[in-house]
Amino acid sequence: MSASSAARQPGGWTDTGSRATSWAEVVRLRTLPAAVAPVILGGGAAAALGTFSAPRTLLAAGVALALQVGCNLANDYSDGVRGTDDARTGPPRLTASGAVSPRAVKLAAFGCFGAGGLLGAALLALSGQWWMLLLGAAAIAAAWFYTGGPRPYGYAGLGEVFVFAFFGLMATAGTLYVQGGSVPGWAWLAACGIGLIACSLLMVNNLRDIGTDPLHGKRTLAVRLGERGARAAFCAMVAVPVPLGVIALWWARSARTASGAPGAVTLGDAAAVVYAVYLLVLGLLAGRAARPVLRGATGRDLIPSLRDAGVYELVYGVVVAAALVLVVRQR
């Protein structure tokens, strides 16, 4: 498709050849706050347990941001060279536009992976948990092979599985582990909640491209589930984290009380207020993200759901982190 030819896409968006105008569009700045949300949650869990370390949390956030940007660039490169982005309904991509050479985008992706590796090494040097280098290497490999390599797992409908594992469980639990050396059960539950929201971002993104992805052999989970199933899956991914967070908060507080740790008291009015605010804020955000999907929006009209799901993930990380500190360490 040439730069001068314009085609009307689903949702009323006019495609001008997927022309990205800047690196900022390829980096997808809107995804970055959501990338640090699991780190915020892990840091909050560490604070609730009394093991918080600001330097280690900041390094973990740097790793998360570097891997997110690297993954975005790798996705731009791989889909661009395969031709998957030639007829897409989402925002423009740099490789497909031809404005920058594929090699430059690829090198930028690996540069981000390298930066993430260096920050991760610094984090492990502080914590002494060198065995986690294996997890870091796996995370970088997952970021590349999502759409890269001869058999990308993102084209086989496995993207959500890896997003849940690395941008949910590993990012949250890893941040907590390098600070306290352990991850209690309630922290894993909270990590599952934020992992599901991370999956919802991928699900709605692929729902937007559900009509064009199969043409390029990209059978995402949204494609495999079908439009109706993908919409139901997205709504579940944004709804289930709310009760998961409540259970995690109750579990964390109960464990703290049972242990007789300093600062642990019985559930009182203040804690009840925390739960009420939690339910109100996250319930409203989950509903807002789901609204366009429930109304049958397609193409570019799904971008508000993508945006709101990203905001929801960030707020979820902040709210659950704060609630853990307030409820678990309340005096």
Q: What mean pLDDT, rounded, does the chain reach?
A: 85
Q: For residues 113 and 68, give the distance between their C-alpha atoms in angstroms, rounded to a whole number.
A: 9
Burial annotation 35-71 (CB, 10 A radius, 16+ → b, else e): bbbbbbbbbbbbbbbebbbeebbebbbbbbbbbbbbb
164-178 tens-digit pLDDT: 999 999 999 999 999
Range in 73-82, 147-156, 205-214 the model is least confident about: 73-82
213-259 tens-digit pLDDT: 898 888 999 999 999 999 999 999 999 999 999 999 999 988 877 66
Confidence of residue 32 (pLDDT cuts 50, 70, 90): confident
Three-state DSSP at 92 gives coil
DSSP 8: E
Tokens linked to 228: 């109706």
Mean pLDDT, to the nearest integer, of 179-207? 95
- Confidence check: pLDDT of 263 > 50: no
**Contact present, 270 and 330 (Cβ < 8 Å):** yes
Residue 254: CA count within 13 A, CB half-sphere: 8
Q: For residues 11 and 320, give the distance between their C-alpha atoms in angstroms, rounded to a whole number.
A: 35
- Which domains does the chain carry? 30-328 (1.10.600)
120-129 tens-digit pLDDT: 999 999 999 9
Q: Which residue is associated with the tokens 């995690």? A: 248
